[in-house]
Structure 1
Amino acid sequence: MARKIGSRYTAHQILGRGSAGTVWLGTGPEGDVAVKLLREDLASDQDLVERFVQERSALLCLDHPRVVGVRDLVVDGNDLALVMDLVRGTDLRTRLEHERRLAPEAAVAIAADVAEALAAAHAAGIVHRDVKPENVLLDALAPTGPGGAPPALLTDFGVAKLIDSPRRTRATSIIGTPDYLAPEIVEGLPPRASVDIYALATVLYELLAGFTPFGGGHPGAVLRRHVTETVAPLPGIPDELWQLIHQCLAKAPASRLRAAEMAARLQELLPSLSGLPPLDIDEHSEAAYAEEAEAEPAATTPAPLQEGVGAVPLVHSGAGPDSNRDTHTSMRVPGADELAGGAHGTARTPRATGEPRAGSARNQRGHQEAARRRRLKLGAAAVGVGVVVAVGGWLATSDSETGSLPAPGARYTTGP
């Protein structure tokens, strides 16, 4: 059913839904457009509407081939909408759901496109703050690039910043998608350009591995892993590519590459990746998290949560997967004692197919069984040593009791 958006646009059909609003296929004076209509509760927030208007010029000025351009912002009654370029294709999350992981050349080509978009945004003083596969669109009508990858465009600039207003959240809250949040955000620091680099490196890791390096399980556990765990290497990719990913996932923001540097490095790596197949590694199953939940002692209850829709505690109250499609989740900033406690489980470790994951209950049971066998062997050896020592002691005692000296050349064994 068609609906008017302001005086210039008409929305015809829904293309998709997200936590911030609904995307419609629309028409305007210049032809087809995509209209992102924000939720009614956001449109009724006068403070947010004012911020929306303040951001208008910055968003409209962001013009780059790798950025989904914003054409207009509409504030009309209860409607608060972003009018954007229409990209004919799909988002990167949908492609991942169909293919699980991409060949390294295609993955790096897509990441390079997104890095170029971020470089343009950062040069304009804009931090995206919500880089993830859902916000990367693949243009199906444009010629494909390296590895058969369609051109990638980054969308939803400014949406996270608009929603994260002082009135809606507090300094003790986090807004974002847990799998892609940089450690400094988890620790309550203000987001700068480096948070986008961390998120993009996480997306690149996911394109190659089929899972994010710190994701899975309860959102609070995911947040802790970002701060406390070290990313595990990906087997089967060139060392130069791994070093780039590792550097961009550094805990210290200053250690990460800048967006323009990341884009240039990724472009340089493309020729060396030609023809490489997708990685053949096991995924971290949710069953493994269930095993970990059974093995780990219950965590202590945290302090009361701050106000906010969707706030979650930083304790594991039961196994269950995150939905990567959830965004702008409001979470309490963890205290120092909670972060010091370590993450629930470990960072995801890529491994050969069929090999148990380090830290899983299955792996732990194997280690426990091996330790039990070692104890039995040591116990048997100790019994043997005890017998020899006892015999030697008896011989020595017999000699001393009789007052006789050892025979010339005699040897006494008192141990192995």
Structure 2
Amino acid sequence: MARRIGSRYTAHQILGRGSAGTVWLGEGPEGPVAIKLLREDLSSDQELVGRFVQERTALLGLEHPHVVSVRDLVVDGNDLALVMDLVRGTDLRTRLDRERRLAPEAAVAIAADVADGLAAAHAAGVVHRDVKPENVLLDMQGPLGPGGSHRALLTDFGVAKLIDTPRRTRASKIIGTPDYLAPEIVEGLPPRAAVDIYALATVLYELLAGFTPFGGGHPGAVLRRHVTETVVPLPGIPDELWQLLVQCLAKAPASRLRASELAARLRELLPLLAGMPPLDVDEPDTDEAEEAAEELSGAAPAAGQPVRRRGAVPLVPGARPSDSNRDTHTSMRVPAPDELAGGARGTARAPRAAGAPRPGSARNRAVTRRRRLTLAVAATLLTAAGVATWLTTTDDTPPPPPDMENSAPAAP
């Protein structure tokens, strides 16, 4: 059913849902548009509406080939909407769900496009704060780029900032998507341009590997890993690309590249990656509860069944990783220093080789049990061998002399 958005736009059908609202296919004076209608609880917040109006100039002035332009901001009664260019294509999350991981050349080309868009935004003083595959759109109608990639455009600029009002999130709260949050946000520092670089490097890692470097499990554990863990290497990629990833995933914001530098470095690597197939990397740990159930039953995944992989954390109970309607934003307490440090109260993991089980995980416990069982069987076999040897030895010895006390003649 069509609905009016302000006096100039009409929303016809829903294209998708996100944590902040619903995206509609709409029509305006200049033709088709995409309309992001924010949630009612957001539109009724007068403080947010004020910030919405204040951000209008910055958002409307952000024009770049790799940014989905905001054409208008509408405040009309209970409606609070961003009117954006309509991109004929899909989002990067949908492609990842379909292909699992991309060839390095295509992955790097997409990341370079996004970095170009971020460079323009940062130059205009705008920090995205929620770079993730769901917010990267692929233009299916344009020409193909390196590795058969479609032109990538970054969307949803300003939405995370609008939601993160002082009244909604105090200094002890975090707004964002756990898998892509930079360590300084987890530690409660204000977000600067470097948080977008960290998030984009996380997305590139995910495009190459099929999973994020610090994801999996409870969101609180994911946040701690961003602060405490070292990223696990990806075998099979050129060292130049790996060093670039490591630099942009640095814990210290000042160590990361600027967006313009990252875009240039990524494009320099494209000839080196031409023709490389998608990486063949070990899947990370599956869900611990699922692993435990499989261990108890002794069952392995059926042939042809997809293996659950660690990806973006869905925060809506029951939501599947491929559910584009899931709410991936969260507002969480900033972990205390002792929790971030790991140890008895924390869940930080020591760096480990790719494919190695995480200490304390169900997979690690299963490996430990198998080792103990193997040692026990070996000990039993050795014991049995020792008994058999003793019996063989005793069969070859002469019988002992008769018991003189029992064989002595009776006294007269």
**TM bracket (short chain):** 0.7 to 0.9
CA distance in 1 between partners of 2:372 and 2:39 (Å): 57
Q: Specify the alignment match of 1:249 in structure 2.
A: 249
Contact 2:342 2:348 in 1 (8 A): no
Contact 2:104 2:208 in 1 (8 A): yes
Per the TM alignment, residue 286 of structure 1 is displaced from its structure 2 partner at its CA by 3.0
CA distance in 2 between partners of 1:364 and 1:256 (Å): 37
Q: Deviations over 1:318-343 (max 9, x none)?
A: 99988884333111111112112255
Matched, 1:331 2:332: yes
Give the letter for the 1:102 counterpart: L
Per the TM alignment, residue 362 of structure 1 is displaced from its structure 2 partner at its CA by 3.4
Q: How many residues align?
A: 354
Per the TM alignment, residue 169 of structure 1 is displaced from its structure 2 partner at its CA by 1.2
Q: Specify the alignment match of 2:163 in structure 1.
A: 163
Alpha-carbon distance change, 365 to 26 in structure 1, aligned in 2, over 3 angstroms: closer
Matched, 1:118 2:118: yes
For residue 344 of structure 1, the aligned residue among 341, 347, 352 is 347
Q: Specify the alignment match of 1:108 in structure 2.
A: 108
Unaligned runs of 5+ in 2: 294-316, 383-412
Per the TM alignment, residue 374 of structure 1 is displaced from its structure 2 partner at its CA by 8.3
CA distance in 2 between partners of 1:160 and 1:153 (Å): 17
CA distance in 2 between partners of 1:371 and 1:273 (Å): 44
Alpha-carbon distance change, 32 to 349 in structure 1, aligned in 2, over 3 angstroms: farther
Give the letter for the 1:258 counterpart: R
Alpha-carbon distance change, 123 to 362 in structure 1, aligned in 2, over 3 angstroms: same
CA distance in 1 between partners of 2:49 and 2:153 (Å): 26
Per the TM alignment, residue 280 of structure 1 is displaced from its structure 2 partner at its CA by 1.1
CA distance in 1 between partners of 2:337 and 2:191 (Å): 19
Q: Deviations over 1:145-177 (max 9, x none)?
A: 000000000000000000000011111100100
Contact 2:9 2:26 in 1 (8 A): yes
CA distance in 1 between partners of 2:286 and 2:89 (Å): 30
CA distance in 2 between partners of 1:262 and 1:253 (Å): 14
Q: Specify the alignment match of 1:6 in structure 2.
A: 6
Give the letter for the 2:102 counterpart: L
Q: Deviations over 1:329-377 (max 9, x none)?
A: 11111111211225536489674xxx65353443455457658988999
Per the TM alignment, residue 126 of structure 1 is displaced from its structure 2 partner at its CA by 0.5
Contact 2:106 2:147 in 1 (8 A): yes
Q: Specify the alignment match of 1:277 in structure 2.
A: 277
Per the TM alignment, residue 287 of structure 1 is displaced from its structure 2 partner at its CA by 2.9
CA distance in 2 between partners of 1:267 and 1:58 (Å): 28
Contact 2:17 2:23 in 1 (8 A): yes
CA distance in 2 between partners of 1:9 and 1:59 (Å): 19
Per the TM alignment, residue 35 of structure 1 is displaced from its structure 2 partner at its CA by 0.4
Unaligned runs of 5+ in 1: 294-317, 381-416
Give the letter for the 1:329 counterpart: T
Alpha-carbon distance change, 26 to 68 in structure 1, aligned in 2, over 3 angstroms: same
Larger mean Cα displacement after TM superposition, 78-87 or 355-364: 355-364
CA distance in 2 between partners of 1:20 and 1:228 (Å): 30
Contact 1:16 1:22 in 2 (8 A): yes
In the superposition, the TM-score normalised over structure 2's length comes to: 0.80
CA distance in 2 between partners of 1:371 and 1:52 (Å): 61
Aligned-CA RMSD value: 2.8
Matches within 5 A, 1:259-298: 259-288=259-288
Q: Specify the alignment match of 1:218 in structure 2.
A: 218
Matches within 5 A, 1:14-163: 14-163=14-163
Give the letter for the 2:228 counterpart: T
SS of the residue corresponding to residue 13 of structure 1 reads strand
Alpha-carbon distance change, 101 to 348 in structure 1, aligned in 2, over 3 angstroms: farther
Q: Deviations over 1:121-148 (max 9, x none)?
A: 0001100000000000000000010000
Alpha-carbon distance change, 373 to 319 in structure 1, aligned in 2, over 3 angstroms: farther
Alpha-carbon distance change, 278 to 155 in structure 1, aligned in 2, over 3 angstroms: same
SS of the residue corresponding to residue 55 of structure 2 reads helix
CA distance in 1 between partners of 2:84 and 2:336 (Å): 39
SS of the residue corresponding to residue 170 of structure 2 reads coil
Q: Specify the alignment match of 1:412 in structure 2.
A: none
CA distance in 2 between partners of 1:36 and 1:319 (Å): 25
